[in-house]
Structures are given as structure tokens and as C-alpha cells.
Chain A
């Protein structure tokens, strides 16, 4: 356990000592702010129109019109950003040879993997926490359904875990950070849109594609609905890729 903590602390120190986190964080917050603001403006415009149109007024709901698209936007943003956060985690250790040091310390493979995963997850959660400020400002002028918003954020945290686990796994495949990022991005995008194939594919597999789709599982969260099936999907996805990473680390045992 202390090994996991050591790796976690080391990863965070390196994250904060190098510009990559500050840079991705800057652009993430810039874009996240833009998305929230544009959704908000759209909502405001419709609210004015609703003054003349009582039918429209019944449809007005900040959760549906601001938060649902906003959570979707954040998820897509993370699709781009997570590979940048995870690419160096294991690839850099391999390239610089520090892997040899790390693996000859009395650390377990799980200690190394969880330490790295949790460090990246901490940054992810930090970025997400900053966006909560938008809602606090919004909440000053409007009564919000905080519980539904919290469910949306929980969904983003679970989604982030799945993204980061997949990113960590791609980083374990190569010693080149760029390749690690490309693999992570390609796989994430694939899992994100695989649900589109649902209507086109052979009927027997439609259920499978729908189940695999990350987007489909996320939609319930962004509507403020908590469904254990979706929670299990993301936890299972995360564990699966962490497990693959562990196998990948172990492969040094039997490779030449």
C-alpha cells in the first residue's frame, strides 16, 4: 500500500513539475467554459421566447437544456484530453529505463498500476472540480436540481476512470508517448461511437454494440438518472483495462 502511495505521489510531483498538465488543463477549462456559456446563452434566448409561447415555457428546464449538452461536451473534451494525460505514465518509464528501477523496488505490479492510475484520476477530478464553479455561479440566479447535477458529475468520474484505464493500458504497450496517445485516442473514439453501428449491424449483435457503447451508458447520467447497470459497465471497463495493463507489465517475465 505504501508502494502505491509512493508511486502516486511521484506521479503527481512529475505532473505538476512539467508543463503538459498545465497546458491541457488550460485548454480544457477554456473550452469547458465556452461550452457552458454557449449552452447558457441558448437557454436564455429560449427563455425570452417562452415569454410569448406558453407551450415552450413548459419545456424549459436547465437540466435538460444546459446540463445535458454540457456533460456531453465535457465527455467529448475528455476523449481528447485523457490520452494526453496518460500517454507518459508507463511509456516514459520504459523509454528512459526507469522501469528497471521501478520494478526492482519492492513494489507490487498492482501498486505501480494503481499509483499511476490514481494520480491521473486525481488530476482528472481536479479539472472536473473547477467546472463545478460554473454551476455555483449559475445556482446564485436560479434554483438548480443539485442532486441531478451530482449524478452527472458522478457519471463523468466513472467515465473518466474508464478513459484513464484505457489510456494507461495503451501507455503500457509502447515506449513512445505519441504512439501511446494515438492508440488511446483511437480506442476511446471507437468505444465512444461503436453504438452507432447498432442499427446497421447484424440483428444478433445489436445488443452487444449497444452494450459496449460508452456514449449510450453515459447518456443516463447526463439526464440525471442513476442506473446501476451503467455504474457496473464503467467499473467493469476500468477494471478490465487495469487488468490488461497488469498482464502487459507481467509479460516481461516470459518475453525475451
Chain B
């Protein structure tokens, strides 16, 4: 592998032990995956923030690295934590968990990382341009960066993303290279996509089918009106959960298909005519709903506005949590949406995600969500039984406390 003089100096420890370890990680990954060189990155999204996932070992490591002088060289944002960093007490998170969680965020902050605590960095200012190399963790954000923004990143893990932030480099393999960005599957979607949940259901099916390959979608009807940020966020998140899809293309929509042929000549053709198998797989037969979760991936301002309109002047029977980035919550509060939702009995929860929060410790048994990703992970991560459907159906469950079946 070719290394520049500066990269070799980092590897030799001339810039201190923290940077040496970071460069060792980048070089080892380059070696394993056959990179010819390293490339500079313009931004990083770091995962491994929830103490529930990280544990004491992860916290110890982050503290040691920070103490050795680890500092990021490029703009770096952070994945969701295991709780709302301000309102954890009122939401019922245990104090022992909270103390360790705050220590994790503090270690990252010491390295110069913005504590955005969001899985949608692209909604809070970390927006790489077309063709830029970045190193992002968080599978749904990776998918959005590659597919919707046309930036280039592999699916990084927590330490490898952090190592890229410290060195400002990543190894040039995988999706950093042109030849790996062409689709090997052509997915012909013949049924209409009527809701965000339908995009999630489609993503669930295709992720299971294509695993870690690149799919190319041809949609029979394009949803209107654009922009497609919301449905594409949902589609990518679901494919990255049921499979390991890090990049997809949508004919006539995503930026890379506008600049060249992104379909491999020997691509395998898949036809999707029916989304009901996804709904069947992601729904448990529960009627009573304890908690309705909106905001996986984190809700945008528009989504929060939609919820506020639906619950305005009404009273909820089930708990309703909308998870979002702190910055988006602040804007929603300014617009009055937070007050409307709280008046109905709902919560706008910042910094966290119910997939990485210890939800079983909060006493909830059943959950309804409009996110296929959340419906996929929740049963195994926290043992709650799940209902999955469109936003309107979820909000109806929040108002009545029951899941209304469409049959």
C-alpha cells in the first residue's frame, strides 16, 4: 500500500501514540481489504455512543484515547446516545446508566467531536457533497450519504470511523472505488408506494434479498411531491437493517444515475409486486399499544410538524415518543410543535434512539412504529412486541391505545 510521507510519520508514532494507533487501524483495514492507498476524508460520523452497546470496555478505551491526545482533524458528528442527555431523569432512565452515558459523550467531546447524537447527521449540517470521500458509521446514514448525496463511504464501525476522524484518512477500497458502485440487482417495483412505511417495507424485502449488494430501483410510479428525502431515508434504513446495503440507486431520482450508467450489464432482475410479506414479517399479533415510536431514523422538522397537526387539541391514550436530533427539537420547539405534542401527552425526545436505549427497563411491552428498521430490531434488542404501519395508523394507535387492523 502506498503511504505519503505524512501518513508514514503518523504510523511511526511521530505524532504521538493516539494518532499512531488510529493510523494502524486505517492501514490494517486497507491491508485486509486490498487498498492501494489512503484517501483524505471530508467528514466523519462516529457510532458506538450508546453505553448499552459500548459497555465499560468501550468507555475505558475512549477515555484512554482522549487522554493520549486524540483529536479529530475533520468535521465529525456523533450517533445517538442511549438516552436523552438532558431529560433522561423525567423519561425514567436509571441514574447508573445515565452517569456512564454522559461519560461516553464527554470522552467524544474531549476529542473535538460535535455531540449531535443523531443518526441523521445530514439533517443537522454534516452534508458531504457529490463524490466526496467520507468515513461514516451508522448503517442508515451510510446508505443516505452514498445513495442520496452521492458521497463515498464504506460501512465503518465505531473505532474505524474514529480512526478516520483522527487521521483525516480512510483506506481506498469498497465503495470509494468506481467499480464497486454499480448495481448488481435491478429491482423492478410494480406496486405503488403509498406511504413512508411502504418504502420501509420495500427496503425490508430487498435488503433480505440482495444482502450487501447494490440494488438499482425502477419504480412504477414516483411518489409526489418531491423532495424524496423522507421516503429514501426510510428505504435505505430498512435495507441496511434486514441486509447490509450501503448503496442503492433509484432511476430518475438519485444523483449518480444522472451522471452515468450505474447498472452492471449482467445485473440480476428482481420483480416486486406485493409488499404484504414485509408487513406480515414485521407485525406481531398485539392489539394494545403501550408506546408509539416515530423518528427512526431521526425525525425531520416536517415529520414533527405532521405529528403535531395530527394530535393538535387531542389527548393520547398511549405514550408517543418522537426521536430526533437536539438541533431539530430546538427548531420544532420554536415552531410550537413540541408544545402541541406535549399538550396531547406525547414527547419529543432528543439525542437517542429507541433501538439503542434500554427500552425494556422503562416498562414498555408493546410498540407501534412507522419504521421498518425499528420494527426489525426491537423484538431482538429489547423484547418488545411490535406493530408496523403507516404514520396515520401509528398516530391512531397513539390516540386510542389500540392497533386498528386494516382488514
Q: Do A and B bind each other?
A: no
Measuring CB to CB, which residues of chain A are less than 8 angstroms from any residue of chain B? none
Give the interface of B toward A (CB within 8 A). none
